[in-house]
Amino acid sequence: MDDVSRYIDQHRARFVDELATWVKIPAISSDPSHVKDMAANAEHLKNHLAALGPDQVEVWPTKGHPAVFAEWNHAPGKPTLLVYGHHDVQPVDPLPEWISPPFEPAIREGRMWGRGVVDDKGQVMIHANAIEAFVKTQKKLPINLKLIVEGEEEIGSENLDELMRANASRLAADFVCVSDTAMFGRGIPSLCVGLRGLMYLEVTVSGPKGDLHSGSFGGGVANPVNVLAKMIAKLHDDDGKVTVPGFYDKVAILTAAERKEIASLPFDEKEWLASTGSPAISGEKGFSTLERVWARPTLDCNGIWGGFQGEGAKTIIPARASAKISCRLVPHQEPEEIQQLVASYLKKLAPPGVTVRVEYMHGGRPYLAPTDHPVFEVAKRAFTRAFGKPTVFIREGGSIPFVRTIADATGKPCLLMGFGQPDENAHAPNEWLDLENFHLGIKSAAFLYDELSRIGKS
Ligand code: BES
Ligand code: ZN
């Protein structure tokens, strides 16, 4: 492993440059004007991997954006690891808030700044670089490795299930690793053992057939903006609980041991609050902040619009108002069920003067890892070898739909070995990747492959 480790040290600067080159492609999956960039992005990755001696490397088309698949089967008798990542990125707005342009990656303060540097291009390259280090120094990998990098994670992985079903045998593996999460803090190797799920919908409240003069009609018909605001306000009670009937019915209650483990982490709530810029902590009564963001379900309005938004004043009763609403889910809530519950409740809350239409957008299931599985000890050893520090178990409040899909399909645990930072500005202006984490991430991945080669197939 010394050769591999040395290679990673020697090629540190080039790895950074190569990541920067990839980050320049604006692979925004949600924006139809970037369809060609998505294809170019997949092609770029395919070409990069092709130079690392895989047995196969292919772009897999879908009904939406393409995925990239590669495999190295050089280790007969050794376990097979499936590594997952995504090559799509989030939109960049509000653009004026970026210190350097999102698709012109810049290096400042030991970090790379740009859209997708950590979510998730940098973390995909961590694995590509670890693979390279083995291929160039040992001529082969110590395990069999399959890499699937999808292009629709940021928009709900809509075509992923079908892609995985169609290619089930090619994706078969003994272990699964996903690098698309953050560490608990700088230099603290962290294994994420829980993710929340997601249910996303759009609701539209309609009243009159067109905007009306608010002088002539105000007071005579329902105002959809007023109505929608009131409906949304009724979705939480004063204790921060979601009021949708049945919402908590299937929620797995945190055990005393789980609460103890979460409480044992060195969480600095003041620092966390400061990183958000919000003036105070807020949320469901009866739970700590970490419990609320990791292991409790939520309902949030992501956007709301309707009526006059231009400059100056315009006196109307708007014809309609809409909102995008999402719920973060915990075991054992199911997105389809929660969608039904929220949609029925929204319809029930609406007064007679309006009609309500609800459109389901996407969802993903929550995940809780079986931490007593031996592979977690293996991952801990790999982390310790790279970072020289003990690993902590954490959860994340975000969602990665693939994780539950693969865990359900294969019955194998999924290792969530992420190298981001909690305040990395993912999805926001000025996303950054800590370059030390990037470097140690490459080493951790290499040590993981090495550690897995020493244990049997699962
Ligand atoms: N990398 C994130 C997942 C994540 C978020 C991990 C926060 C750790 C903390 C991923 O790319 C993401 O943003 N996922 C979406 C999924 C959704 C569109 C189904 C999310 O969580 O909003
Ligand atoms: Zn991501």
CA pair distance 30, 115, nearest whole angstrom: 14
Q: Is 71 in the pocket of ligand 1 (CB under 6 A)?
A: no
Q: Is 122 in the pocket of ligand 1 (CB under 6 A)?
A: no
Q: What's the DSSP call for residue 251?
A: P
Residue 260 inside a domain? The answer is: no
Residue 140 inside a domain? The answer is: yes
Residue 281 inside a domain? The answer is: no
Taking only the tens place, the pLDDT of each residue in 180-197 is 999 999 899 999 999 999
User: What pLDDT score was predicted for residue 405?
Assistant: 93
Taking only the tens place, the pLDDT of each residue in 90-121 is 999 999 999 999 999 999 999 999 999 999 99
CA pair distance 282, 266, nearest whole angstrom: 20
Regarding whether 133 and 31 lie in a shared domain, the answer is: yes
Regarding whether 181 and 204 lie in a shared domain, the answer is: no
| Residue that finishes a domain, picked among 311, 340, 362 | 362
Q: Is 88 in the pocket of ligand 1 (CB under 6 A)?
A: no
- Average of pLDDT values for 418-446? 97
- Average of pLDDT values for 319-346? 98
Put the strands of the sheet holding 106-108 in their side by side order: 106-108, 111-113, 432-434
Question: Which residues share a beta bridge with 393?
Answer: 191
User: What pLDDT score was predicted for residue 55?
Assistant: 98
Regarding whether 422 and 342 lie in a shared domain, the answer is: no
Q: What's the DSSP call for residue 34?
A: G
Where do runs of H (alpha helix) occur along 321-370?
335-349
Number of domains present in the structure of the chain: 2
User: What pLDDT score was predicted for residue 456?
Assistant: 77
Regarding whether 133 and 37 lie in a shared domain, the answer is: yes
Tell me how far the alpha carbon of residue 183 lies from the centroid of ligand 2, in angstroms: 14
Residue 67 inside a domain? The answer is: yes
Q: Is 154 in the pocket of ligand 1 (CB under 6 A)?
A: yes
Query: pLDDT over 90 for what percent of the chain?
Result: 97
pLDDT at 355 over 90: yes
| Residue that finishes a domain, picked among 337, 362, 387 | 362
Nearest to 357 by CA among 327, 322, 325: 322
Q: Which ligand is nearest to the CA of 85?
A: 2
Provide the b/e sequence for 102-127 (b: ≥16 CB within 10 Å): bbebebeeebbbbbbbbbbbbbbbbb
Average pLDDT of every residue of the chain: 97
Nearest to 14 by CA among 438, 448, 449: 438
Regarding whether 404 and 320 lie in a shared domain, the answer is: no
Q: Are the C-beta atoms of residues 186 and 179 closer than 8 Å to each other?
A: no
100-114, 235-249, 405-419: segment of lowest average pLDDT: 405-419
Regarding whether 419 and 316 lie in a shared domain, the answer is: no
Regarding whether 177 and 34 lie in a shared domain, the answer is: yes
CATH at residue 117: 3.40.630.10
- Give Cα separations from 201 to 80, 183, 263, 325 (angstroms): 38, 30, 33, 5
User: What pLDDT score was predicted for residue 288?
Assistant: 98
User: What pLDDT score was predicted for residue 6?
Assistant: 98
Q: Residue of the nearest CA to atom 7 in ligand 1?
A: 398
Q: For the chain, what percentages of helix, strand and coil (3-state, to nearest 5) are there?
A: 35, 25, 40
Indicate the residue type of 42. A
pLDDT at 458 over 90: no
Three-class DSSP category at 219: coil
CA pair distance 412, 402, nearest whole angstrom: 13
CA pair distance 199, 220, nearest whole angstrom: 36
Regarding whether 154 and 14 lie in a shared domain, the answer is: yes
- Atom of ligand 1 at shortest range from CA of 192: 8
User: What pLDDT score was predicted for residue 457?
Assistant: 76
User: What pLDDT score was predicted for residue 378?
Assistant: 96
Residue 282 inside a domain? The answer is: no
The domain of 232 spans: 197-251+297-362
CA pair distance 109, 33, nearest whole angstrom: 33
Regarding whether 213 and 158 lie in a shared domain, the answer is: no
Regarding whether 182 and 58 lie in a shared domain, the answer is: yes
Regarding whether 173 and 56 lie in a shared domain, the answer is: yes
- Cα 442 to its chain centre, rounded Å, is 20
Where do runs of H (alpha helix) occur along 359-434?
375-387, 401-410
Nearest to 329 by CA among 235, 201, 196, 155: 196
CA pair distance 346, 388, nearest whole angstrom: 52
Three-class DSSP category at 22: helix
Three-class DSSP category at 245: coil
- Give Cα separations from 387 to 227, 321, 391, 451 (angstroms): 54, 51, 9, 15
Residue 259 inside a domain? The answer is: no
CATH at residue 333: 3.30.70.360
- Give Cα separations from 458 to 79, 164, 269, 374, 455 (angstroms): 7, 20, 39, 10, 9
Tell me how far the alpha carbon of residue 182 lies from the centroid of ligand 2, in angstroms: 10
State which residues have CB under 5 angstroms from ligand 2, the bound ion: 119-120, 180
Regarding whether 375 and 358 lie in a shared domain, the answer is: no
Residue 265 inside a domain? The answer is: no
Q: What is the pTM of this model?
A: 0.94
Helices then strands, counting H and E runs in the chain, come out as 15, 18
Residue 312 inside a domain? The answer is: yes
| Residue that finishes a domain, picked among 362, 390, 417 | 362
Direct distance between the N- and C-terminal alpha carbons of the chain, in angstroms, rounded to an integer: 23
Q: Are the C-beta atoms of residues 44 and 88 closer than 8 Å to each other?
A: no
Nearest to 66 by CA among 92, 40, 31, 103: 40
User: What pLDDT score was predicted for residue 154?
Assistant: 95
Q: Is 89 in the pocket of ligand 1 (CB under 6 A)?
A: no
Taking only the tens place, the pLDDT of each residue in 368-384 is 999 999 999 999 999 99
